Structure 1
Amino acid sequence: MTETPAALGYRMPAEWHPHERTWMAFPTDNPTFDSPEHLHSSRLAWARVADTIVRYEPVTLIVNTGETETARGYVSPEVEIVERPLDDAWMRDIGPSFLLGPDGELAATDWIFNGWGAQGWARWDKDQHIAEEIAGLTGVRRFASRLINEGGGIHVDGEGTVLVTDTVQLGEGRNSDWTREEVEAELNAFLGTTKVIWVPRGLTRDYDEFGTRGHIDIVASFVRPGVVVAHTQPDPAHPDHEVCQEIVALLRAATDAAGRTLEVIELPAPTVLLDEDGEPVDYSYINHYVANDAVILCAFDDPRDTEAQAILAKAYPTRTVELVDAREIFANGGGIHCITQQQPKAG
């Protein structure tokens, strides 16, 4: 039997652990970006995130083969560019989940990626290899899991607890033939966790055609051990109003791996309720990224942007909270956390 990361003393550290770098992927021509204008505006949005993060830590941008010159026209000269065959641009989901060993050595968990449950529009022939490519680029040991999973489907506290949703981990197209206990065993084995907290589902729009079917990283995330921020929708007219109430209640009743009852900080959704097509939005401040000395926070040109900024500044008192417009990223089905992946500092 192959030794698992947990058996060897590896664990996934929390996002606030010091980083060596951030990994991102550059939008390339695919069904997500369905016109030259859409592709251009998306590249500008991704570049704004990369250029903000690189002021705080190194950023490596994976670009599709032959697109280095194009990408260089969008991002800061400080952003490192590496070419690898690429389908899409959601590095959180296609990249590895980095681990640290008992002596601080770096390793990587490589989940099975199949286009968010083998969705009809998705392309993953190339993206399914990106985690392995990055493990090779960093020169670290790679652990291949049998679980169909994405980085946006998990959130860890670094002390043994992981948050997940039922509809991702046990959903059709992913691991519907697994039991809950089997999923927990695999997560714990490949993350070094000991406690899995299950949330029933994600936000309403995440079940649309281009959604992830319930990623946790738009719903709730740890900000320190024992403390989570949770998305809330104050407006009863929005379909997420009751969804969020249920999730907050569940989290407040949950305990972590250390036996602590979770403290839940509510992070209200932006005031906008509908997008330009008249559909409910899933704009969320939960989908932020914690970098060295900074929190990169989704902004929506909304009155609640500064409220969310203040809440996260209090949660991360030693970090600068940078607001970056994320509306174009959300229009493609994700947010700032979805397009970034941290590589923790070894040692």
Structure 2
Amino acid sequence: MPAETAPHERTWMAFPREGFTLGDEASEREEGYAVWTAVAQAIAEFEPVTMVVDPTEMTRARRMLGAEIEIVEAPIDEFWMRDMGPTFVVDDARPGTLAAVDWVFNGWGAPDWAEWQKSALIGRFVGELLGVEVVSSLLVNEGGGLHVDGTGTVLLTDTVQLDPRRNPFADKARVEAEMARTIGATDAIWLSRGLTRDYDDLGTNGHIDIVATFASPDRVLLHEQQNPDHPDYAVSRRLRGELEDAFAARGRDVTITGLPAPATLRDDTGIVDWSYVNHLVVNDGVIACGFGEDVADARAREILADAYPGRRVVTVDARPLFDRGGGIHCITQQQPAV
């Protein structure tokens, strides 16, 4: 699996459809449609975007997205493309060869509220649409549950891949063997957990893509909660220690750069998990999460611009996404150029 910083052919997304995730009120639904559209349009400034759209939403999608976004029709129920869609890989032995890993998707552990049976078919659908090899996996996993450096290292969390609601018979050795077979990962670094709110009913139980990511093989960006009144103050320090120990044990000199959390601690639901780590790297750019805090958003842009030199950082207000359980990285999936 190439690093996210490698050149992209396009980004894949899925358009929202009515249901639990989008919201019950008309205002909630309009907010959801608008933020998915805003992210797509921001990405389209840098690279092509293909949007999978449920048949019930085709008219709205065409109206809102405009001609610059390619639309593909397919039945979906959930619309977090990172998690339900394919994870793309390339074959070093056959240059120019692309494949799509099709994980088992069960709605983040088959919670009672999730509708996921239609979207569980999208990974294979996209691969077949592209005419590439589909690498089937029996591992229940989501794209938001892993991050790679492009040289064989993968970041994972104990509470996702070893979740008994996902993989009741898995252990680390089995997961690592499957990561090697599917995405070519030769070294797995396990973190013990994710952020606090991610363990609520609407959470993913610890996705890595809200916690830490590789900016390059020798630099990791880590969520950093700086307020001791937030439970992630302790969590982010614990995770920093785990990363430091893991890289030291491997003799790797990796810089761990903190991405400070916004100042807001709570919303109407409870403790927030607002994280600037959940950004998307695109061709010549970075699509960053914004949280309506000028100082914190600007500081995040500066750190991201330094971490990804030569790329323009664009901020999109991600609060409506986090209200629904994810962020910008969660609703997108890059297709590497081959």
TM value normalised by structure 1: 0.94
Q: Provide the residue aligned with 1:5 in structure 2.
A: none
Say if 2:33 is the partner of 1:43.
yes
Q: Provide the residue aligned with 2:327 in structure 1.
A: 335
Listed one character per residue, the Cα deviations across residues 234-266 of structure 1 (whole Å, up to 9, x for unaligned) are: 000001110000001111222299852332000
Alpha-carbon separation, structure 1, partners of 2:241 and 2:301: 24
Say if 2:298 is the partner of 1:306.
yes
Alpha-carbon separation, structure 1, partners of 2:171 and 2:292: 43
Which residue identity lines up with residue 178 of structure 1 in the other structure? Answer: A
Aligned residues: CA RMSD = 1.3
Alpha-carbon separation, structure 2, partners of 1:76 and 1:195: 42
Alpha-carbon separation, structure 1, partners of 2:69 and 2:159: 36
Query: Contact conserved, 1:98 with 1:106, CA < 8 A, in 2?
Result: yes
Secondary structure of the equivalent of 1:329? Answer: helix
Alpha-carbon separation, structure 2, partners of 1:295 and 1:216: 18
Q: 2:18 aligns with which of 29, 33, 37?
A: 29
Alpha-carbon separation, structure 1, partners of 2:187 and 2:66: 40
Alpha-carbon separation, structure 2, partners of 1:21 and 1:246: 36
Alpha-carbon separation, structure 2, partners of 1:30 and 1:195: 39
Listed one character per residue, the Cα deviations across residues 64-102 of structure 1 (whole Å, up to 9, x for unaligned) are: 014221112221320011110000110000110101112
Report how many aligned residue pairs link the two structures: 334
Q: Provide the residue aligned with 2:282 in structure 1.
A: 291
Deviates more, 1:108-117 or 1:259-268: 259-268
Tell me: CA distance 1:166–1:238, structure 2 relative to 1, closer, same or farther (3 Å). Answer: same
Q: 2:89 aligns with which of 88, 95, 99?
A: 99
Query: Contact conserved, 1:153 with 1:164, CA < 8 A, in 2?
Result: yes
Alpha-carbon separation, structure 2, partners of 1:21 and 1:257: 37
Say if 2:5 is the partner of 1:16.
yes
Q: Provide the residue aligned with 1:111 in structure 2.
A: 103
Alpha-carbon separation, structure 2, partners of 1:112 and 1:183: 13
Listed one character per residue, the Cα deviations across residues 205-244 of structure 1 (whole Å, up to 9, x for unaligned) are: 0011110010000000000012110001000000111000
Query: Contact conserved, 1:195 with 1:257, CA < 8 A, in 2?
Result: no
Q: Provide the residue aligned with 1:181 in structure 2.
A: 173
Alpha-carbon separation, structure 1, partners of 2:188 and 2:248: 8
Alpha-carbon separation, structure 2, partners of 1:207 and 1:38: 23
Say if 2:80 is the partner of 1:65.
no
Alpha-carbon separation, structure 1, partners of 2:256 and 2:167: 29
Say if 2:229 is the partner of 1:271.
no
Alpha-carbon separation, structure 1, partners of 2:320 and 2:57: 21
Q: Provide the residue aligned with 1:4 in structure 2.
A: none
Q: Provide the residue aligned with 2:121 in structure 1.
A: 129
Query: Contact conserved, 1:251 with 1:262, CA < 8 A, in 2?
Result: no
Query: Contact conserved, 1:22 with 1:57, CA < 8 A, in 2?
Result: yes
Q: Provide the residue aligned with 1:88 in structure 2.
A: 78
The runs of 4+ residues in structure 1 deviating greater than 2 Å are: 255-259
Tell me: CA distance 1:38–1:256, structure 2 relative to 1, closer, same or farther (3 Å). Answer: farther
Tell me: CA distance 1:197–1:269, structure 2 relative to 1, closer, same or farther (3 Å). Answer: same
Alpha-carbon separation, structure 1, partners of 2:126 and 2:246: 35
Which residue identity lines up with residue 45 of structure 1 in the other structure? Answer: V
Alpha-carbon separation, structure 2, partners of 1:49 and 1:150: 20
Aligned-pair distance for 1:330? 0.5
Which residue identity lines up with residue 295 of structure 1 in the other structure? Answer: V
Gapped regions of structure 1 (runs ≥ 5): 1-11
Aligned-pair distance for 1:179? 1.4
Query: Contact conserved, 1:226 with 1:256, CA < 8 A, in 2?
Result: no
Alpha-carbon separation, structure 2, partners of 1:305 and 1:154: 25
Which residue identity lines up with residue 123 of structure 2 in the other structure? Answer: A
Percent of counterpart pairs with the same letter? 51
Listed one character per residue, the Cα deviations across residues 255-310 of structure 1 (whole Å, up to 9, x for unaligned) are: 29985233200001001001024x11000000000000110000011121000100
TM value normalised by structure 2: 0.97
Listed one character per residue, the Cα deviations across residues 139-191 of structure 1 (whole Å, up to 9, x for unaligned) are: 10000011100000000001000001000010121113111111111111111
Secondary structure of the equivalent of 1:271? Answer: coil
Secondary structure of the equivalent of 2:246? Answer: coil
Gapped regions of structure 2 (runs ≥ 5): none
